[in-house]
């Protein structure tokens, strides 16, 4: 990724009729996730969640027809409808009451949002244009705030924020991305937003908001498999599927980043060519989730030593 590149092409925002049909079924289903799409995962543990949404992790996946599904790992998937064309992104925005927000790339190439707060909303168009095959990234940098990031059609990183009452305009943050981005609020520094993406050299590139301004892009090295992007938890545990089709991990060590390391074990099935997902559970363990070539979802949680020794099914695939 060339740090000097700043592209000033404005994303087109469309006023559209709803392209998303809401499907309100809930069933134990099995099938296959859409090829090239990975899962989204967010934590809801410790929140006063309604029945069916409790538990440490909520998983989202797109089936072969583009329908978005949700499960809390119980084995029962809820259909959220819509027609998604890339991996979703999800976040639990508030800690004083239960809310989940999920974002997808629609068939129009634009960004779409759906949220749960005493029931699921309809699909909401947020406009913009995402590069083909890429999905959004989202984090909540403060109570009631959302920060969404996408790879624009020209390859730059674009940002849009919700302040609790309204959405900002799209903001061009430059760079040249070749994957879906990943974003998080670093839990040890409440003012920071960290964004990661695959650059044109195949390495992971990093950009940071320090509370007042954005940093330049910086390389974290590594080699990320084509058509996949990084995943990051709130503790800055960074995960990628490398060109060897194994999961690799990088994390902060004091004021520096660690070297890249393998997780020491993959799921029982081969990884699909899709981005992983990561989150910190309320017990402060990091969870990483991937999709397999058979379309199943697998999840692993770090132990006290920081290793990921076991993989478990995240519920039958939707």
Per domain, the residue ranges of the chain are 34-313
Of residues 136, 133, 123, the one with CA closest to residue 89: 136
Evaluate whether the domain defined by 34-313 bears CATH number 2.120.10.70.
yes
pLDDT the model gives residue 194: 95
pLDDT the model gives residue 211: 86
pLDDT the model gives residue 135: 97
Tens of pLDDT, residue by residue over 59-103, are 899 998 999 999 876 668 889 999 999 999 999 875 556 789 999
What is the rounded CA–CA span in Å between residue 91 and residue 43?
A: 8
pLDDT the model gives residue 18: 33
pLDDT the model gives residue 20: 33
Contact 224, 181 (CB under 8 A): no
**pLDDT < 50 positions in the chain:** 1-31, 45-49, 53-54
Q: What is the pTM of this model?
A: 0.86
Pairing of the two strands 218-221 and 204-209: antiparallel
- 164 burial (CB, 10 Å; 0-12 / 13-18 / 19+) is exposed
User: What is the rounded radius of gyration, in angstroms, for the C-alpha atoms of the chain?
Assistant: 18
Contacting residues for 165 by C-beta, under 8 A, at least 6 apart:
none
pLDDT the model gives residue 73: 65
pLDDT the model gives residue 79: 94
What is the rounded CA–CA span in Å between residue 263 and residue 247?
A: 6
SS3 sequence of the chain = CCCCCCCCCCCCCCCCCCCCCCCCCEECCCCCECCCCCCEEECCCCCCCCCCCCCCCEEEEEECCCCEEEECCCCCEEEEECCCCCCCEEECCCCCCCCEEEEEECCCCCEEEEEECCCECCCEEEECCECCCCCCEEECCCCCCEEEEEEECCCCEEEEEECCCCECCCEECCCCCCCCCEEEECCCCCCCEEEEEECCCCCEEEEEECCCCECCCEEEECCECCCCCCEECCCCCEEEEECCCCEEEECEECCEECCCEECCCCCCCCECCCCCEEEECCCCCEEEEEEECCCCEEEEECCCCCCCCCCEECCCCC
Report which DSSP code applies to 167: B
pLDDT the model gives residue 188: 56
What is the rounded CA–CA span in Å between residue 168 and residue 13?
A: 13
């Amino acid at each position: 990724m060339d740090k000097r590149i700043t592209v000033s092409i404005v994303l087109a925002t469309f006023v559209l009729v709803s392209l998303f049909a809401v499907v309100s079924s809930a069933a134990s289903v099995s099938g296959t996730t859409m090829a090239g799409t990975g899962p989204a995962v967010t934590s809801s543990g410790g929140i006063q969640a309604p029945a069916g949404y409790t538990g440490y992790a909520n998983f989202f996946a797109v089936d072969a027809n583009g329908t978005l599904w949700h499960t809390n790992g119980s084995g029962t998937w809820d259909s959220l409808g819509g027609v998604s064309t890339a991996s979703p992104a999800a976040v639990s925005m508030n800690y004083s009451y239960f809310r989940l927000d999920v974002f997808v790339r629609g068939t129009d190439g634009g960004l779409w949002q759906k949220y749960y707060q005493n029931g699921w909303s309809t699909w909401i168009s947020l406009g913009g244009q995402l590069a083909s095959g890429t999905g959004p990234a989202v984090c909540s940098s403060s109570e009631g705030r959302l920060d969404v990031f996408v790879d624009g059609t020209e390859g730059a990183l674009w940002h849009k924020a919700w302040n609790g009452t309204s959405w900002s305009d799209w903001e061009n943050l430059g760079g040249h991305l070749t994957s879906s981005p990943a974003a998080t609020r670093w839990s040890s520094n409440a003012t920071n937003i960290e964004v990661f993406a695959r650059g044109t050299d195949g390495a992971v590139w990093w950009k940071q908001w320090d509370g007042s301004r954005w940093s330049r892009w910086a390389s974290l090295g590594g080699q990320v498999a084509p058509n996949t992007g990084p995943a990051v938890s709130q503790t800055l545990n960074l995960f990628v599927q490398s060109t060897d089709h194994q999961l690799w991990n990088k994390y902060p060590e004091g004021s520096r980043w660690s070297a890249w390391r393998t997780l020491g074990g993959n799921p029982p099935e081969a990884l699909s060519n899709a981005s992983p997902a990561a989150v910190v559970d309320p017990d402060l363990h990091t969870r990483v989730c991937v999709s397999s070539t058979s379309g199943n979802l697998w999840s692993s949680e770090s132990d006290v030593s920081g290793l990921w020794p076991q993989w478990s099914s995240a519920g039958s695939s939707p």
